[in-house]
Structure 1
Amino acid sequence: MTIRTWKNRAGQASRSIAGLAIAFSLVLLSDGLPAALAQDAPGEEIIVAQNGVFGGFNPFAPLQRLFGGGRERKPAKKQPSRTRKPQVARPAGTPPRFEIMAKDPDAGLILVVGDRMARGVADGLKFTLADKPQIRVEAVSEDKAGFAGDTAPDWAAQVLSKIRGADVKAVVVMIGQQDIGKTFPGEPPVEFMTAEWLDTYRKKVDALVRVVRQERKPIVWAGLPPTNQELLNGDFTQLNSIFQSAAEDRRVRYVDIWDIFLADDGSYSSYGPDVDGKNAKLRANNRIDFTWAGYRKVAFFVERELSRLLGGYGGLAFEGVEDDPNFIVLTGRTTSPETLLLGGEEEARMDKDSAAYGLFVAGKPLPPVPGRVDDPRMPVGGASALGDAVPSGS
């Protein structure tokens, strides 16, 4: 390599280094350019559109990325993650939230006695009677209990304590589902659905009915519904016959819901018309219990009987109960003291001198008509006169 060639290359390198130095200086100076412009015009607001450090096209962007510089970008704030609460599915048969009108201090009480089905019917009655301040509903229930079993509650004692401690107007009973397959205690235990078991069960039912009737309270007993299991249907039918016989003997109102929850062809169906007439799912997934729509439907038919018994939930709690020699009604419906019906005319007074008054009021016989067959008097002239009175041709 010649000395001249070496000098030429050295000059080119020095010029390149000088150019890079100038470019780097311009980059550093450009960072303070907007501030300097702002200082030259202290009374005016200068808005500089920026894209990174420079606004618009930036010829020095590659060098700036190579050597660094410019404003540091603040890290974006992390938005706190919102966690949604998992929606818990409402169990079948659980009522939705609804408002109940404030009840009167002396509101009558309807007791609903039994197992899980009774509690569902109580919720349905609360919903139906939510806008009636003169009546309230209370459940006396144990979900897994019935009449049979070693730990069966004393339903008669529980109901009696409630009746004597509150103004109970009526008692509603729905029970029996939890008695399937259970024995009655004994040595040996009384096996399910034997003759002795049925007799013991009937006595338990009669004991509950007797306690309520001795307290002069009416009873509405709701029967068990059909299922899709043939054997279970047979057991439920047997229990329903016991409930129905108690209703016939004790003047208990029995509500038969069996056909209500069957399809048109008589087969089982989980769906059917609800209280509004719309097709809805009425039975739970186990095809034994009810959904909320199903409990409302049972409560609808129970409430209809209660309305007949209680006279529209007024002051008379026993109107409509059949004649019972052991059932004495001491109160009656409050009516107007007037004896004249509304819209009726006043009774016309009879003339005391008239024949009708003498016959119907005074009891006097009507005056005899001469010549009539009921006239016992002999006509004037004797038999000849009587013969003259006989028509010719007789």
Structure 2
Amino acid sequence: MTVAAGTGILKAAARLMVRCALIISFCAAAETFPNAMAQQATDKEIVVAQSGLLRGFNPFSPLQKLFGSKERRRGQPPPQTQQKRRTPSRAAGTPPKIEITPKDPNAGVILVVGDRMARGVADGLEFMFADKPQIRVEKVTEDKAGFAGDTPPEWPTKVLAKIRGADVKAVVVMIGRQDLGKAFPGDPPIEFMTQEWLDTYRKTVEALARVVRQEKKPIVWAGLPPTNTESVNAEFTQLNSIFQSASEDRRVRYVDIWDIFLAEDGSYSSFGPDVDGKNTRLRTGDRIGFTWPGFQKVAFFVDRELLRLLGGYGGLAFEGVEDDPNFIVLTGRTTSPEALLLGGEDDDGEKDRKSTAYRFFVKGDALPPMPGRVDDPRMAVEGTSVLDGVTASGS
């Protein structure tokens, strides 16, 4: 046998051994395929379960080295599936979670009465007084109830029980939205917005106010806001006129919130300045209710009336707020109140627009310079006193 022939036999034998090894490894992989799938490495390498002489032999290793995963080629760990945390949504009119300072046992009570709007105002006041242990807010509210309907709550009875059971300093009322379209019971029923209905509604409002007044407690009655619907605006205006008529008593204050929820041009807008002066959504999607910033804004103006009525409560001293810059921003007032200050609200006479006082206080014109006064830009005349404008004696 020649050397070439021997070499050929050795090569053939080597090829045969390689084929046998491949066949054996594939058979082992087929027998243990389920276990092999369960033992895949985290970096996506394929590992075949083996035993005996073939332990550690991986027939796919060359392919994996050649076509390694992108993560291994880039030196990055395999991607991990991360479950997104769902942030629980909060309803538009729901207040955020607040920490309330424990209240004193003898804390004065601000009692809030009415429907869903009243509850939102109570939440706003509670937020404002959260760190004041001497003030507590309590509610007598039913979200879907008003004065009208088949079985309205006995509001006077409920309020009277609260007043006599706690140290109530004032009563805040906001009600009316749930009365739209509802008749008063009767035979026949008193239909909505008829003259008889309005008269009945007025008597119901006065009955509640009378109970509170008899207990010598002040009332702050918040009016209803403008909406984006003409018919609802007309109905709310009628109800507001009834609420306002109850404020003829000196212990009842009506809070007119209509204009503060309108745009600068007097049209409806769901947005406006919040209590911090930041433009935000104040009204809910139905364009009647309030978002949380909207309730805070109503509570802001209610609190100002409480201060005016009580002079100071819960350790809060009364301060004038009529021309507070925040008051101007929140109401969207763009006109100056100086004309009223000049003549007073009771002065209906025509003002002299050419007078020095009018030009100074209303128009903002500078006063004419006076000889010798510190704002006189002219040179002082020699021998003239800067105090009285008379010729001084020689010195």
Q: TM-score, normalised by structure 1?
A: 0.62
Residue 19 of structure 1 deviates from its aligned partner by 7.5
Aligned to 2:236, the other structure's residue is in SS state: helix
Letter in structure 1 aligned against 2:205: V
1:174, 1:224 within 8 Å by CA — same for their partners in 2? yes
Once residues 245 and 218 of structure 2 are traced to their aligned partners in structure 1, the CA distance between those partners, rounded to angstroms, is: 16
Partner Cα distance (1:307, 1:86) in 2: 42
- Relative to structure 2, which stretch is displaced further, 12-21 or 236-245? 12-21
The residue aligned with 2:301 is 301
Deviation string 1:56-91 (CA, Å, 9 cap, x unpaired) is xxxxxxxxx9xx934278xxxx99965445333211
| Map of 1:17 onto structure 2 | 13
SS at match of 2:257: coil
Distance 1:226 1:312 in 2: 31
Quote how far apart the aligned CAs of 1:146 are: 0.2
> Match of 1:187, as an amino acid?
D
**Aligned counterparts, 1:117-136, within 5 A:** 117-136=117-136
Aligned length: 271
Answering whether residue 191 of structure 2 is matched by residue 206 of structure 1, we say no
Q: Is the 8 A contact 2:251 2:309 kept in 1?
A: no
Give 3-state SS (helix, strand or coil) of 1:308's partner.
Answer: helix
* 1:131-165 deviation digits (Å, cap 9, x = unpaired): 22111111211111000001210111100111111
Q: Does 1:71 align with 2:45?
A: no
Distance in 1 between the 2:297 and 2:236 partners? 19
- Matches of 2:241 and 2:226, distance apart in 1: 14
Q: Deviations over 1:106-129 (max 9, x none)?
A: 100111000010011001101111
Q: For residue 101 of structure 1, report the CA deviation from its aligned partner.
A: 1.6
After TM superposition, give the deviation of residue 242 of structure 1 in Å. 0.3
Instruction: Give the Cα–Cα distance (whole angstroms) in 2 for the partners of residues 268 and 276 of structure 1.
Output: 21
How far did 1:14 drift?
5.9
Deviates more, 1:178-187 or 1:98-107: 98-107
- Secondary structure at the aligned position of 2:243 is classed as helix
- What does residue range 33-112 of structure 1 map to in structure 2 within 5 Å? 69-71=54-56, 83-112=83-112
Distance apart, 1:12 and its partner CA? 3.6
Three-state SS of the structure 2 residue aligned to 1:265 is coil
C-alpha contact 1:275 1:300 (8 A) present in aligned 2: yes
Note the residue ranges of structure 2 that are not aligned, 5 or more in a row: 22-44, 59-77, 318-395
Match of 2:255 in 1: 255
Could you tell me which residue of structure 1 aligns to residue 116 of structure 2? 116
Q: Is the 8 A contact 1:92 1:292 kept in 2?
A: yes
Q: What does residue 279 of structure 2 align with?
A: 279
Following superposition, the deviation at residue 209 of structure 1 comes to 0.5
| Residue 16 (structure 1) shift | 2.6
- CA distance 1:131–1:13, change in 2 (3 Å): same
Task: Supply the distance in 2 between the matched residues of 1:22 and 1:72 (Cα, whole angstroms).
Answer: 13
Q: Distance in 1 between matches of 2:245 and 2:79?
A: 70
Alignment of 1:131-170 (within 5 A): 131-170=131-170
* Deviation string, structure 1 residues 226-271 (Cα, Å, up to 9, x no partner): 0110000000000000000011146311000011111111111111
1:128 is matched by which residue type in structure 2?
M
- Mapping 1:210-289, distance limit 5 Å: 210-249=210-249, 251-289=251-289
Report the alpha carbon displacement of residue 281 of structure 1 after superposing the two structures with TM. 1.1
The CA deviation string for residues 168-221 of structure 1, in whole angstroms up to 9 with x for no partner, is: 110000000000000011111110001111111111101100111111111000
* Equivalent position of 2:353 in the other structure: none
Greater Cα offset, 302-311 or 212-221: 302-311
- CA positional deviation for 1:9: 6.9
Counterpart in the other structure of 1:290: 290
Which residue in the other structure is 2:172 paired with?
172
Q: 1:11 to 1:221 in 2, by over 3 A?
A: closer
Residue aligned with 1:112, SS:
strand
In 2, the alpha carbon distance for the partners of 1:98 and 1:129 equals 11
Question: Alpha-carbon deviation of 1:105?
Answer: 1.3
Structure-2-length-normalised TM-score: 0.62
Instruction: Work out the CA distance in 1 between the residues paired with 2:274 and 2:214.
Output: 36
CA distance in 2, matches of 1:95, 1:314: 23
CA offsets 1:303-347 (integer angstroms, 9 cap, x no match): 011112222214899xxxxxxxxxxxxxxxxxxxxxxxxxxxxxx
Contact 2:171/2:218, CA 8 A, preserved across alignment: yes
Change (3 A) 1:113 1:52: closer
Q: Which amino acid aligns with 1:198?
A: L
**1:21 to 1:103, Cα distance in 2 relative to 1, 3 A:** same
Alpha-carbon RMSD across the aligned residues, in angstroms, is: 3.4
Work out whether residues 228 and 268 of structure 1, in 8 Å CA contact, stay in contact via their aligned partners in 2.
Answer: yes
Identity %: 69
